[in-house]
Amino acid sequence: MERVGVGAIRSQAVKRRETATLATLLLRISAALIRTPHHRLGGAIDGAIAEVGDALGADRALVARREPDGIVQHHLWEHGRRNGSAGPVSSDLLPSILGRLEGGRTLVWESRDEFPLTAWRLESLTEQLESGIVVPLQVGGTRGGMLAVIARAPRPWSADAVEAAERLAEMVAAALDRIANQSAVTREQEGRRSAEAESRVLREHLAHAGRVSMLGELAASLAHELNQPLTAIYTNVQAAERFLDRKRPALGEALGALHDLGQDCRRAGEVLGRLRQMFRRHETERVPLAVGPLIEHVLRLLYEDAVGRGVDVVLDVPRDLPLVNGDRVQLEQVVMNLLVNAFDAVMGMDRPREVTLRAAATDGFLGLSILDTGPGIPPNDLDRIFEPFFTRKPNGMGMGLSICRTIIEAHGGRIGARNGRERGSVFELSLPAVKSQ
């Protein structure tokens, strides 16, 4: 019967405890790295390297990777010192070791004489790397890095120590993959946000250009609307002068004329205020909007134009419509553009010139329809009228309907056109309704 000494039994017990301690440590590190958010993984890797390096009785542990600027040391732990930060490696030793790791095998040496690069054994090994374990890192599907656990004195490395270093290398590689992937995602998100912001600015500039163009088309109507209060102002000023120029000034009549003068000034200011709001350049602002007041505001701007053309505007807009999230100025621009087009469509018709505006809520959307009694849209043009620069108007730019579609789609809605069943054309748009609380 073979007898085993007490010292051997104790040695085996110590070894089992060390193995169990390493396994527990690696399990805890693995769980911590998995739970750590990507923006804190760098610090978690530093902590993992320090813990394993200390548990293995090493003097130094580090991660180094081959990058366009050379070999970069990303994580460094040294016994009794603080973790080092990332930085380039000036020595030729690490590049040489990385070249040796291309086969994917772990390098282990217990003394300087066993160092795997013979050229560095004696005079060139200035880093005092007497013994160590170097494990190749595979990040992003390619090799080009390493995890090194180093001691300054000759020492043996157990199979458990080598396995621990290899497991740590796998964890570090996975963490570095997460950082790289998240960086790529972040760059993509930033690029997408930048593109969306640029697109939004272009839409705003395009919409502003459309409003300025529309201002030219409505110049005669707007001049007439301003002319009314200005004429009244002039008349009241003359009346006030006459009342005050009498031998016995008619103060009551003069005060009445001055009161009317103030009202006319307010009316002129309201007209200019509406124009300024409509045609100024502004950043998109999405807020809950009631469609009824928005339509009324547009109709006030177009009132003189409709009267001058002899167009009857019929409103079918319920008061209890849901709100929509949108930019008021841009949505007013869409409604105004569609109404002006409808006014143009009914000009020259013998039958009544009528434009109907309807609104209704269905299936979570608010729909708006503008119907006219004009000649309708040629069938070949129905698929093209929303294209940029397509127009049948002699002096048209062909941008109005294209801008309308851009604005409505940017609001998450849809816009389309068709011919009416009996006559004229129908333009329909829908916008997502704000969900009631």
Among 55-64, 229-238, 380-389, the minimum mean pLDDT is found in 229-238
Beta-bridge mates of residue 66? 71
CB of 256 closer than 8 Å to CB of 235: no
Q: Span 21-186: which CATH code?
A: 3.30.450.40
Domain definitions of the chain by residue range: 21-186, 285-437
Q: Is the pLDDT of residue 225 over 60?
A: no
Task: State residue 4's pLDDT score.
Answer: 45
Between CA 112 and CA 150 the distance in angstroms is 12
Among 24-33, 66-75, 284-293, the minimum mean pLDDT is found in 66-75
Range of 84-93, 95-104, 219-228 with top mean pLDDT: 95-104
Between CA 410 and CA 149 the distance in angstroms is 56
CATH class of 285-437: alpha beta
Task: State residue 367's pLDDT score.
Answer: 94
Task: State residue 16's pLDDT score.
Answer: 66
Instruction: Check for a shared fold between 21-186 and 285-437.
Output: no
Residue 27's Cβ-count burial label (10 Å; 0-12, 13-18, 19+) is exposed
Average confidence (pLDDT) over 2-9: 46
Between CA 57 and CA 165 the distance in angstroms is 12
